[in-house]
Amino acid sequence: MCENCGAAAPRSDFKELEPVLKKYADVEGSLISILQKAQDIYGYLSLETINYISAQTGIAPAKIYGVATFYTQFRLEPIGEYLIMLCQGTACHVNGAALIEEAITDHLGIADGETTEDNKFTLNNVACLGCCSLAPVMMVKGPEGEETFGNLTKESVVKALDGIRARG
């Protein structure tokens, strides 16, 4: 771990990725699956990870980078311990998602795509979480798993974030 920036230290081995590469070695068109699994393992796709996947698969790093930057599901930078996925779908938009985003931004000091200085939270606006009856809604992914918070107000989102921060 980088003491100054909190980023993960460079990897010297990719043992956790080996079974994934072995599984998809002979599967045509499996790059997205490989990238998804790599991101699940490491939290994001570092340049080092992209280059390793390239070396193991024979796919040019530029092509891998192109796929990783085309699809919004992929991250090229480390994220916080808790990933806040704030729904911006129609139901959430109509029910005040902009006010919830404002409350998160004001409370944590971050905007969409940013991470708090303490690397605790990353905010990510998403198109839809599929929880329209709970609009406005956010999902928070952390070490304990995923939690969904619905029918949010400016007050309840701040309370939820403070509760998460209090966990340690």
10-40, pLDDT tens digit by residue? Answer: 455 899 999 999 999 889 999 999 999 999 9
CA 46/CA 44 separation, integer angstroms: 6
pLDDT of residue 6: 43
Distance CA 111, CA 108 (A): 9
53-97 pLDDT, tens digit per residue, is: 999 999 999 999 999 999 988 999 999 999 999 999 999 999 999
Angle at 5 between CA 76 and CA 107, to 5 degrees: 85
Domain ranges of the chain: 1-78, 82-166
The CA angle 52-58-62, to the nearest 5 degrees, is 70
Element (H, E) at 33: helix 31-42
Provide the pLDDT confidence category of residue 7 given band limits of 50, 70 and 90. very low
Query: Class of 82-166 per CATH?
Result: alpha beta
Which CATH code is given to the segment(s) 1-78?
Answer: 1.10.10.1590
Q: Helix 47-57 vs helix 31-42: angle between axes, to the nearest 10 degrees? A: 140
Which pLDDT belongs to residue 12? 59
Report the residue count for the chain. 168
CA–CA–CA angle 42, 141, 1 (5° rounding):
35
Q: Residue 5: what pLDDT? A: 38
pLDDT in tens, 105-156: 999 999 999 999 999 999 999 999 999 999 999 999 999 999 999 999 999 9
Q: What is the CA radius of gyration of the chain?
A: 18
